[in-house]
Structure 1
Amino acid sequence: MTRAHLPGIIAMAAIVVASNILVQFLFGNWLTWGAFTYPLAFLVTDIMNRVYGAQAARRVVFTGFIVGIICSLIGTQIMGEYGPLVTLRIAIGSGIAFLTAQLLDVSIFSALRGGTWWRAPLASTLIGSTVDTALFFSIAFSASLSFIEPANDVSWAGEVLPILGFGPQAPLWVSLAIADWGVKLSLALLALVPFRLITGRMTAAQ
């Protein structure tokens, strides 16, 4: 790690901490405020990858993973209205989803880095975000994985309702996942602007 990597490491740590806090606050029926900060982790990873390479990006990812573990451990000790703020399933789902999706993002970005400037960040973020959403929500809330933490009652997440209030019937957690995924995809497109500006300035300054 070099001093030049510190801004990326600090940014990733700040995003992970902020997202762990903001996920406690609802935004509408299907989202939390954390849904709007967490996708920025992909932007940080992609900027580091473009400017400093895959190895530096992986260092930033592992920093975010460690910070996430610390946040989860703290969350398990804080009691909310319905129990600990962070359950074992949420902690496992969050850790696996983050590490898998971010490392996948780094690999895809590296494979596409020689193409048009927007191709690598867009493809890596879209695929990484999809994997992240699928892993987290299925591990944390799917009834088929209840054996991970039998004592944790997540039956509320399995309540069958119209998807997003108007679609076909599905467990509630599916609506939560689709809404979260939609935010990630939207921010992946919007993030191309700061990605282009920031990487351009950082590259010029080297």
Structure 2
Amino acid sequence: MIQTIVNNRPIKLFILLGGFFIANALIAEFIGVKIFSLEKTLGLTPANFSFFGVDNLSFNLTAGVLLWPVVFVMTDIINEYYGMRGVRLLSWLAAGLIAYAFVMFYFGIHLTPADFWPQSHIPTELDETGKQAILSKVSDYDYAYRLVFGQGLWIIIGSLIAFLIGQIIDVKVFHRIKRMTGDRFIWLRATGSTLISQFIDSFVVLFIAFYIGANWSLSLVLAIGVVNYIYKFVMAIALTPCLYLARMAIEAYLGKEQASELKAAALAES
């Protein structure tokens, strides 16, 4: 059985794509606790948008947006060769693993720390001038640990629901366009499905996490959702060439005949 799997290129490819898909989804969730300034990261002056009566908006984004566009591109690649069932399997598996990880984080942050650990990173040695070598900016490791890993329940729920809804919409739009265009216009079905699913994802997560969970005003949720979607829209377009590169690599690995068989089966299954 193991030998069969190892020698079966479509199975090995599915495991490779699925592993990369799930890894990106997990990492995006975990790094998403950080909010960064896109403009300042790029050395630019912050934008000054106004939407729905909310002023002074700029690209202050969760770090997870670095990877979510990659997740949706991976969705389209897997969808192309393994169909709805392949994407559905990996989406539920990713959501389950993310939920499991947060449960483990919950237990981790509630463990009683060893007496020495919260201040264990603060140096006690002196440098040649007789002063402390490094002064840490964090005075309590355990408190920082709780802040980083202890994301709010509504944020977790909103993120998981938005992810699953986005995946379902992405898959359906992708195959609807493919039925109309056949094997042509991969950019249209891949980028089009991503743009639609990312639009829904952007507002669902904010609505659940902050409108319901944190009592934000609806205008603020909509305004920030628009800013987030502008970034995702640009990234979806920018990543389109990656689809063609991935397709070339996959067809070189599988061979055109086997790749065509997988794509035909995926379309028929949809």
Q: Which amino acid in the other structure matches residue 154 of structure 2?
A: R
> Normalising by structure 1, what TM-score?
0.79
Q: Does the CA-based 8 Å contact 1:51-1:203 persist in structure 2? A: no
DSSP 3-state at the match of 1:86: coil
The match for 2:152 among 80, 87, 91 is 87
Separation in structure 2 between the aligned mates of residue 32 and residue 134 of structure 1, nearest angstrom: 14
Structure 1 segment 6-17 matched on structure 2, within 5 A: 6-17=15-26
User: Aligned residue for 1:111?
Assistant: 176
User: Aligned residue for 2:236?
Assistant: 188
Identity in percent: 23
Q: Out of 131-140 and 112-121, give the one that drifted further.
A: 112-121
CA distance change for structure 1 residues 103 and 90 in 2, over 3 Å: closer, same or farther?
A: same
Greater than 3 Å deviation, 4+ residue runs: 74-84, 173-176
Separation in structure 2 between the aligned mates of residue 49 and residue 83 of structure 1, nearest angstrom: 34
User: Aligned residue for 1:32?
Assistant: 62
Separation in structure 2 between the aligned mates of residue 3 and residue 31 of structure 1, nearest angstrom: 35
**Displacement of 1:178:** 2.4
- Map Cα deviations across residues 2-51 of structure 1 (whole Å, 9 max, x no partner): 33311121111211221122212221262122111122110111011112
Q: Does the CA-based 8 Å contact 1:50-1:199 persist in structure 2? A: no
Structure 1 segment 164-203 matched on structure 2, within 5 A: 170-171=219-220, 173-203=221-251
Q: Which runs of 5+ in 2 are unaligned?
A: 1-9, 38-58, 110-142, 255-270
Separation in structure 2 between the aligned mates of residue 117 and residue 92 of structure 1, nearest angstrom: 33
Structure 1 segment 13-162 matched on structure 2, within 5 A: 13-28=22-37, 30-77=60-107, 78=109, 85-113=150-178, 114=182, 115-142=184-211, 145-146=212-213, 154-155=214-215, 157-158=216-217
Q: Which runs of 5+ in 1 are unaligned?
A: 147-153, 161-169
Separation in structure 2 between the aligned mates of residue 100 and residue 136 of structure 1, nearest angstrom: 10
Q: Does the CA-based 8 Å contact 2:203-2:222 persist in structure 1? A: no
CA distance change for structure 1 residues 21 and 116 in 2, over 3 Å: closer, same or farther?
A: same
Separation in structure 1 between the aligned mates of residue 13 and residue 31 of structure 2, nearest angstrom: 29
Q: Out of 76-85 and 14-23, give the one that drifted further.
A: 76-85
User: Which protein shows a greater Rg?
Assistant: 2
**Displacement of 1:194:** 0.6
DSSP 3-state at the match of 1:31: strand
Q: Does the CA-based 8 Å contact 1:23-1:33 persist in structure 2? A: yes
Q: Out of 68-77 and 87-96, give the one that drifted further.
A: 68-77
The match for 1:2 among 2, 11, 29 is 11
How many residues matched?
185
Separation in structure 1 between the aligned mates of residue 170 and residue 96 of structure 2, nearest angstrom: 18
CA distance change for structure 1 residues 201 and 82 in 2, over 3 Å: closer, same or farther?
A: closer
